[in-house]
């Protein structure tokens, strides 16, 4: 685990049930509840950043499609994927209008 160059304390208000569940997990993993929460928050932020990037990429792809009309159909992609690993493996389908 890599620590930030500078850390700041923050306060979280947890309901008793979740606090107890976190403590049980921490105990079973022989870790502190603080360390468990820090790791969980870090993993959540990374996951959400990736999800947000996917949304941006999808929006850009949609905008590009709306502008150009270029696409590959689902059936074309499925047919291409079925050739993967076969002797007659095909190249990826090309975009068209």
Distance CA 24, CA 30 (A): 10
Give the pLDDT confidence of 29-54 residue by residue, as tens digits. Answer: 999 999 999 999 999 999 999 999 99
The tokens describing 72, both together, are 């590959």
6 three-class SS: coil
Residue 3 clears pLDDT 70, i.e. is over it: no
Q: Is the pLDDT of residue 88 over 80?
A: yes
Structure confidence at residue 68 as a pLDDT band (50, 70, 90):
very high
pLDDT band at 6 (very low <50, low <70, confident <90, very high): confident
Q: How many CA atoms lie within 13 Å of 93's alpha carbon, on the beta-carbon side? A: 17
pLDDT, the chain, mean: 95
* % of the chain at pLDDT higher than 90: 93
* H-helix segments, 8-97: 16-28, 33-68, 74-81
């Amino acid at each position: 685990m890599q620590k930030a160059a500078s850390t700041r304390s923050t306060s979280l208000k947890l309901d008793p049930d979740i606090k107890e569940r976190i403590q049980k997990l921490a105990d079973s993993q022989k870790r502190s509840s603080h360390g468990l929460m820090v790791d969980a928050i870090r993993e959540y932020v990374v996951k959400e950043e990736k999800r947000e990037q996917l949304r941006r990429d999808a929006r850009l792809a949609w905008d590009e499609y709306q502008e150009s009309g270029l696409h590959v159909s689902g059936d074309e992609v499925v047919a291409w994927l079925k050739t993967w690993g076969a002797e007659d493996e095909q190249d990826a389908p090309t975009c068209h209008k």
